[in-house]
Amino acid sequence: MRKHIIKSTSWPESLLRRAAHILAGESPRSKSWDKVFGAAKQLGYVRNQLAANLRSGSSSVIGIIVSNINTPFYGKVV
């Protein structure tokens, strides 16, 4: 995918990292923003949030362990 994006945008590989930050929403809107999102749309890019969470090491998901979910108290809380 990396080489395909580089070819389609005629960018050196050093700018690919910047493009990744733009696609991840970690960079403010700039001149390159439209070009990056245009290329991503043309290539059918869809961000894989699960992969992004694995890479960052956090997911903002809370796990809850209950003895019986059918209990009225747990049903209302969860």
What's the gap between Cα 68 and its chain centre? 35
Per-residue pLDDT of 8-24, as tens digits, reads: 666 677 777 777 778 87
Position 70 scores a pLDDT of: 83
Position 19 scores a pLDDT of: 78
How much is the pTM? Answer: 0.47
Residue span of the structural domain in which 30 resides: 2-77
Q: How confident is the model over 46-71, as a mean pLDDT?
A: 81
pLDDT of 65 above 70: yes
How many domains does the chain contain in total? 1
% the chain with pLDDT above 70: 85
Phi, psi of 10 (to 5 degrees): 60, 35
